Structure 1
Amino acid sequence: MVTVQRRGLTALAAAVLLGIAACGAPETAAPAADAQEPWTWTDDRGKEISLPARPERVVAQSASAAALWDFGVRPVGVFGPHRLKDGGRDPEVGEVDIDQVEPIGNVWGEFNVEKYISLKPDLLVAGMYLKDTLWYVPEESAAAIEEVAPTLGVQLGGKKLTEIIERYASLAEALGADPAAAPVTEAKARFETASERLRDLAKAKPGLKVMVVTATPESLYVAYVPDHPDLAHYAALGLDIVSPAAPTESEGGFWEVLSWENADKYDADVILVDARAQSMKTEEMAEKPTWSDLPAVKAGQVYPWRAAERYSYLGYAKVMEEVKTNLEAAKDDVVD
């Protein structure tokens, strides 16, 4: 069986530009003098990072790079999903200009240590779904990577969506970005508006049941809501999101694994399906009779789930706007 990694599928069916762009966009950078002061940060592993000056050359996992980018930080390198097979930008890397950052790796398990060293990084940033485990940093290379520059982890699992976004905002500010820059304040206002509109929709359609899934050819994975910060946020706003009583133990949280024969275990008016490039596509899932027989599928109420959205106000404002648009059009009486 293919194991779905944490928030989705990194092992399903399982970044040389020497960019020297400094971390922090010119229009959002803090005064230059601040960069020369000693810099400290305690990450979510409890690890204290102390440097003689503010880090200027940051390499980040794609989701972290995307979040930092929205807050005004410009990494010099990125690893994790960022470029699609057709050369386009993977949605997981958000607004990052992938032609202006050095690619260190693009898929799970891929991290070019030599290229990383060539960038002379001051800091590496990655999220963590599991305690003390940096997302997309290969375990076999972790020690070598740590010797090059300090690593900084941002805890994602077990946190509220707003807490994670605010953590990235604080980190970006510490790296020289301006929290009062217009793009940041505008994005925050947009996020708050999107949240309220989703809350209003939930009130207007109290009977609408939503299920969130990802899949492999062998199994259907139903999201365990408490372990997904975005889904927990939507639920807190009032959306009725179907959730297993507990995740499958072998997954370490996040999912209940169902055989395709048991795909109808839960009733739902709407199904949100993992939209990432490495996830099983709905047209592939359609070949499974038990999928095609689900009421939401028959009703045409299957929409994308942005499972790897960056943790920024802009990122999730856009996602919630999309969710609201899709759910507004959905019937809430497909199942009882």
Structure 2
Amino acid sequence: MADVPRRALVALAAAALLGVSACGGTAASPASSAPPASSVQGGSWTWQDDRGKKITLPRRPQRVVAQSAAAAALWDFGVRPVGVFGPHKLKDGGRDPEVGEVDITKVESIGNVWGEFNVEKYAALRPDLLVAGMYVKDTLWYVPEQSVAAVDQIAPTVGVQLSGKPLVQIIERYGRLAEALGADLTAAPVAEAKKRFEDASAALKRLAADRPGLSVMVVTGTPDSLYVAYLPDHPDLKYWGEDLGLKIVHPERPTESEGGFWEVLSWENADKYQADVILVDARTQSMKIEEMAKKPTWAKLPAVKAGQLYPWHAAERYSYLGYAKVMEELTTNLDKARDDVVKE
């Protein structure tokens, strides 16, 4: 469980995506207009990623391999990777939520858990490009440190910075990358997803305005500790709290050893913060609510006693469709929650 809490520390959290040769490459539609960070000139293709690294290829990449969350975001914009790595398949064979809408029967898997990345399989896919998000600066999520050199020799890599950026800006960045890879951002599914995201944002903002006293806290747990999310370091929480006005209870500062993102509490101190609603990390590797219920201090929290515990999709893909669904669910859950379980 040590890899669960620190969302930014690659040793924690989740996801990836892979593809088979027979599945082809990226979206068929050519980009309607090249984004500022990329260009296609004389048949060549360039992109400057969030490490400041400029990638130049003789043609637009066709065979893309991506970390599962990145694959899920690109998929929603119309790009079809050939391979994925990171959480994408559950033990029962079903699709891990972290890989979004990706059809895992049509992509090659090169790794499904933290630290698992099959370099030989990756090379066999003949990739043109690898894409992964970055929570830690200049560190591609779910690419094991010991595999970086080999991966770099096989194909260029693109990193998308996920921490320290506004939620909408990250989504737009993935959109521009997808467009550079041949996706059509004017396609109906993309336009509909964006409208759905805007509507979901507006609905959550209305709820926050109508119920200013409703307080929310976001946590994840391990057998030894409770981790309380530090709002400024999570793009989704920052968007809900600062842009939409949702009252989110969070630490004044994170625990230094975590590199940000969380304050770490012993279970004996699980009552340091209280809120009407608690959102609990829904990732498969995180501690389950039933397990947390066995911790006495946790069990006494007002939100726990009131049954106002709902999922937090910590590794949601950064796409309009992904976060539209998250906010729709969140608004539905908060709408039925009491806002008086914490007594002042």
Q: TM-score, normalised by structure 2?
A: 0.93
Q: 1:88 to 1:10 in 2, by over 3 A?
A: farther
The 3-state SS of whatever aligns with 2:160 is strand
Structure 1 distance, partners of 2:154, 2:6, is: 27
Does 1:255 find its partner at 2:262? yes
The one-letter amino acid of 1:182's match is A
Structure 1 distance, partners of 2:298, 2:122, is: 43
Q: CA deviation at 1:183?
A: 0.3
Give CA-to-partner distance per residue, 1:281-308, whole Å, 9 cap, x none. 0000011111110000000100000111
Does 1:110 find its partner at 2:112? no
Structure 2 distance, partners of 1:256, 1:225, is: 11
Q: 1:140 to 1:8 in 2, by over 3 A?
A: closer
CA contact (8 A) 2:65 2:129 kept: yes
Q: For residue 124 of structure 1, what is the aligned residue in structure 2?
A: 130
The one-letter amino acid of 2:184's match is D
CA contact (8 A) 1:30 1:177 kept: yes
Q: For residue 225 of structure 1, what is the aligned residue in structure 2?
A: 231
The 3-state SS of whatever aligns with 2:46 is strand
The one-letter amino acid of 2:331's match is K
Does 1:47 find its partner at 2:53? yes
Q: CA deviation at 1:19?
A: 3.1
Q: CA deviation at 1:243?
A: 1.1
Aligned CA RMSD, in angstroms, stands at: 1.8
Identity %: 71
Q: 1:263 to 1:167 in 2, by over 3 A?
A: same
Structure 1 distance, partners of 2:50, 2:10, is: 24
Alignment length, in residue pairs?
Answer: 331
Q: For residue 20 of structure 1, what is the aligned residue in structure 2?
A: 22
Structure 2 distance, partners of 1:140, 1:273, is: 32
CA contact (8 A) 2:77 2:183 kept: yes
Superposed, 1:132-171 pairs within 5 Å as 132-171=138-177
Structure 2 distance, partners of 1:52, 1:67, is: 25
User: What are the ranges of 5 or more consecutive residues in structure 1 without an aligned counterpart?
Assistant: none
1:310 alignment partner, one of 280, 294, 317: 317
Q: For residue 300 of structure 1, what is the aligned residue in structure 2?
A: 307
Q: For residue 7 of structure 2, what is the aligned residue in structure 1?
A: 6
CA contact (8 A) 2:78 2:178 kept: yes
Q: For residue 37 of structure 2, what is the aligned residue in structure 1?
A: none
Q: 1:122 to 1:301 in 2, by over 3 A?
A: same
Q: TM-score, normalised by structure 1?
A: 0.95
Q: CA deviation at 1:37?
A: 1.4
The one-letter amino acid of 2:240's match is Y
1:279 alignment partner, one of 270, 286, 291: 286
Q: For residue 319 of structure 1, what is the aligned residue in structure 2?
A: 326
CA contact (8 A) 1:83 1:90 kept: yes
Give CA-to-partner distance per residue, 1:191-219, whole Å, 9 cap, x none. 00100000000011100110000000000
Structure 2 distance, partners of 1:56, 1:255, is: 38
Q: For residue 193 of structure 1, what is the aligned residue in structure 2?
A: 199
Q: CA deviation at 1:6?
A: 2.4
Structure 2 distance, partners of 1:18, 1:234, is: 38
CA contact (8 A) 1:209 1:241 kept: yes
CA contact (8 A) 1:78 1:102 kept: yes
Q: 1:11 to 1:166 in 2, by over 3 A?
A: closer
The 3-state SS of whatever aligns with 1:105 is coil
Give CA-to-partner distance per residue, 1:77-98, whole Å, 9 cap, x none. 0000000000000000000000
The one-letter amino acid of 1:2's match is A
CA contact (8 A) 1:260 1:288 kept: yes
Q: For residue 69 of structure 1, what is the aligned residue in structure 2?
A: 75
The one-letter amino acid of 1:144's match is A
Superposed, 1:164-183 pairs within 5 Å as 164-183=170-189
Q: For residue 36 of structure 2, what is the aligned residue in structure 1?
A: none
CA contact (8 A) 2:18 2:82 kept: no
Give CA-to-partner distance per residue, 1:35-83, whole Å, 9 cap, x none. 9711000000000000000000000000000000000000000000000
The one-letter amino acid of 1:125's match is V
CA contact (8 A) 2:69 2:98 kept: yes
CA contact (8 A) 2:233 2:260 kept: yes
The one-letter amino acid of 2:2's match is V
The one-letter amino acid of 1:151's match is T
Structure 1 distance, partners of 2:10, 2:225, is: 12
